[in-house]
Structure 1
């Protein structure tokens, strides 16, 4: 009988450690939401977006300075922030329809000056989720595009809202190509 009591005691003594490990497995999403975020600012199209520095440690500015491709720390993740001229003076609903014609969207919403769209696609490493947000600012359209593995949905659900809602048009635009910068944003 003493053996059973001792085994139960050992199991109960290990239980807090097991719970701590299990809890740690669920905290990365929350920790990324609280991690250090930087702000990418694009001079040519006058927009900014915040991003978690630990997940995107660097970025490459496009040759024509219309935006940047962020280098992800994880596999199967792609993040771009970019702008373009709305030469055809399209409204958000029309551009949404044009960009996603023939694709099945899981979610979309259109406002007077923006749209969001999300769905599933086949990524390099299997099933992936994409999330796009575009904001219309005069003659400019500024967008973020994020693609991540469907298997990591729970992690990214904590990050996507802050990242995409931080997209903002700044005063200016129609400037010649210039350098962009990353600055600390808490």
Structure 2
């Protein structure tokens, strides 16, 4: 079974320069019904539903201008592999800039084609529960707070 995608889609257009978000961003909890996985999601940013992800249950979302995307998914982990083993089996791309692996989760991130991709997966009971976020590298500072809140709110 395939794991979360490690590719970033290229999208063009301008992004809301006021992404320095704070008080104007509307957040809601998104829950994957089948697994109970939940995450805080900025619905005023990721406002377009892009349907189910490949290789798991959950949902994909885009910004209105499609410059950034968020995937929330539960991926089968029938052998209950540790995050390190699960990640290694996915053959992640070379050139990972940031990697953190604990007994409970992994985080990997890098840049591809002027876009940052960020992937966090928490170990669940027979699943890896993940958030994948892709956004323009030139807007890293504006996205830092959003990515941090999404990542830290992921619950299995």
Tell me the TM-score normalized by structure 1: 0.67
2:124 aligned partner: 137
Distance 2:53 2:96 in 1: 31
Shift of 1:33: 3.5
TM-score, normalising length: structure 2:
0.79
**1:13-162 matched pairs, under 5 angstroms:** 28-30=18-20, 32-34=21-23, 35-62=25-52, 66-122=57-113, 127-162=114-149
Deviations 1:129-183 (A, max 9, x none): 01110001121211000000111111111211001111111xxxxxxxxxxxxxx
Counterparts of 1:72 and 1:53, CA distance in 2: 9
Distance 1:92 1:43, change over 3 A: same
Structure number with bigger Rg: 1
Cα distance in 2 for residues equivalent to 1:101 and 1:159: 24
RMSD after superposition: 2.1
Greater relative contact order (CA < 8 Å, ≥ 6 in sequence): 1
In 2, Cα distance between the equivalents of 1:29 and 1:60?
21
Name stretches of at least 5 consecutive residues in structure 1 with no aligned partner. Answer: 1-26, 170-186
Return the alpha-carbon distance in structure 2 between the equivalents of residues 107 and 138 of structure 1.
26
Partner of 1:176: none
List, as ranges, runs of 4+ consecutive aligned residues in structure 1 with deviation greater than 4 Å.
none
- When residues 102 and 161 of structure 1 are mapped into structure 2, their CA distance, relative to the original with a 3 A threshold, is closer
Which residue in 2 is equivalent to 1:24? none
> Greater share of helix residues, 1 or 2?
1
